[in-house]
A and B are shown apart, each in its own frame.
Chain A
């Protein structure tokens, strides 16, 4: 018994040491030393498991280093409740400003309210909350849906059958992208939506859903709109496997690395570039301005979406 316990304790220690050894280099201890300005900004990100959010975070870190401010980055793991707790912790830590990448429109609002009540400037990045923050840096997701659907309408000569792959139902991005697409579709009565289903932002699920749609509708489909690139790339594989891609227009949103490559290779017709770098850097800049009580030109900074096709791909592939 004793021996077994010792082995387990040993294993646990070993694991702990490994984890610490792994984390330390990644901790960027330098950030603290470089914090000459003395400004500390608390950051709560939607999910560091999402590539786009990680890109925003990276851009923030880069900007923070450049401006000599310290960032405390936390991951809300897609739960609003956790996010509110993180903001509460920031408030008790008395950070100088908070950057919030909201999980949900309604449920993350208390986080904004609490920060404002505590007199700490709060900036929403990427998506919005019901409660109004001190500043917003991001893009209007509805525009991305509009750009994508306009592209499809043009590509299929304003008539034909399309299918739509939704993001996780009820999330702000899904609601807005769907709304943007619907607004455009209303203009083109000759475009018929054969089916609309969620594939939960997931590549494997997107692929499965597309396979089943191909089985149902086959070559009746003229175009596919996916709410994000992950699902779009899944759909792409299903289409390529059934040799239908040549006939079908496929557009998705986010311009992640894989999607850009696919556009470059002429496999994906278009993706919509959301400027992670611009959003991340913009959020940190705005935060510093608010801390220093400098005036803001705009309370809402919209970083524009851009359509990425084979024609302009070279501008994006380096970014």
Chain B
């Protein structure tokens, strides 16, 4: 058995994602006018911040051995909820923000509860939640976009602070908090254990149900945050926004080297995964390559990333 190369195996995985990202960036910089600039970097960061936040959230769930397919719908529901309370001159800004995130948390609790207590497969529970949350978004909004939002609310998604777009700043905070949680707290450590081997975690005295619940709540709460940013960015709460966003988020996680079978993964990888997707979307748009090819290329990269991952093992 090869017992020597194990320590840096993990970091190597991250290097590879980083190298892939660097290569893609270099190639795009050469072939695409206007790609390699601070201005465009800011654009890319702003564009990936929503998917990035979702991806960071779903990283928790995937490391814990689960999956969340409801994110796209949760984003729509929380966005609509936020928008309904964000009309100018009605409530203080904290009201829509708090309500959206609370809505996210409630959905996370329902997901987590059904999965842990009801012992239903996460795929099924969150698939159900995907349509339930979408339906709720349509019910509360009567199927219409909720617009006419206050200036302060729109600042969250559209404003700049010190020349940095606010969503990017929020994304930055989310990354730091998530990385600290996974690496420097008991809860984070337990998430890896539960995803790596649920039985062993249980036998080690870990409250497996609580850990899973925690992961789903974090994930949905971050979806709530993403919902706020999306609604603010497009200055409406759209009940049909965010369709298939969960798949982009999961793609970012997978490209970032997190194993869908749980127990392995990192926030850094996920962020790089989101960056790769964002840079490619942006670069191909700049090159005016039709979206048909964009979809093919994105698919190839997802499968390619996992292939490289397998090859290593």
- State the A residues within 8 Å of B (CB): 4, 7-8, 11, 22, 48-51, 54, 169, 194-195, 197-198, 202-204, 207-209, 211-213, 215-216, 218, 233-234, 237, 241, 256-258, 261
Contact = CB atoms under 8 A, between A and B. Distances in A.
B148 A215 contact: no
B65 to A, nearest CB: 20
A197 B34 contact: no
9 contacts: A169-B292, A197-B291, A203-B234, A204-B234, A204-B241, A212-B285, A216-B288, A234-B234, A237-B233
B186 interface: no
B291 A211 contact: no
Interface in B132-153: 138-139, 142-145, 147-148
Nearest to B33: A216
B40 A215 contact: yes
Contact of A237 (B50, B158, B238): B158
B291 A198 contact: yes
Given A22-B139, A216-B286, A216-B288, A208 B281 contact: yes
Contacts of A212: 43, 281-282, 285-286
Given A8-B117, A209-B285, A237-B158, A216 B234 contact: no
A258 B145 contact: yes
A213 B118 contact: no
Q: What is the predominant secondary structure among interface residues of chain A facing chain B? A: helix
A100 B45 CA distance: 44
B239 interface: yes
B34 A215 contact: yes
Contacts of B143: 48-49, 51, 54
A209 B47 CA distance: 10
Interface in B282-301: 282, 285-286, 288, 290-292
Given A48-B138, A204-B230, A211 B43 contact: yes
Contacts of B288: 194-195, 197, 216
A45 to B, nearest CB: 11
Contacts of A233: 234-236
B138 A258 contact: no
Contacts of A197: 285, 288, 290-291
B145 A51 contact: yes
Contacts of B35: 215
Contacts of A258: 145, 147, 236
Nearest to A212: B285
B139 A216 contact: no
Interface residues of B, number: 39
Contacts of A22: 139
B117 A7 contact: yes
B234 A4 contact: no
Contacts, number: 87
B119 to A, nearest CB: 8
Contacts of B117: 4, 7-8
B16 interface: no
B240 interface: yes
Interface string B120-139: 00000000000000000011
Contacts of B39: 215
B138 A211 contact: no
Given A51-B143, A212-B286, A215-B34, A203 B148 contact: no
Contact of A215 (B43, B144, B281): B43
Contacts of A51: 143-145
B118 A8 contact: yes
A257 B147 CA distance: 9
B34 A49 contact: no
B25 interface: no
Q: Which 6 A-B pairs have the closest CB atoms?
A: A212-B285, A49-B240, A203-B234, A195-B288, A216-B286, A54-B143
Contacts of B240: 49-50
Contacts of B241: 202-204
Nearest to B39: A215
Given A216-B288, A261-B148, A207 B233 contact: yes
A241 B285 CA distance: 19
Contacts of A194: 288
Given A8-B118, A216-B285, A216-B286, A211 B47 contact: yes
B285 A237 contact: no
A61 B234 CA distance: 30
A7 B142 CA distance: 31
A53 to B, nearest CB: 9
Given A203-B234, A204-B230, A54 B144 contact: yes
B185 to A, nearest CB: 29
A115 B158 CA distance: 49
B139 A213 contact: no
B194 to A, nearest CB: 19
A250 B248 CA distance: 30
A49 B290 CA distance: 26
A258 B34 CA distance: 32
Interface string B266-285: 00000000000000011001
Contacts of B230: 204
Contact of A49 (B147, B234, B235, B239): B239
A258 B234 CA distance: 11
Max chain B C-beta neighbours (<10 A), residue from A4, A195, A204, A213: A204
Most buried by A among B33, B114, B230, B234: B234
A48 B286 CA distance: 34
A213 B292 CA distance: 17
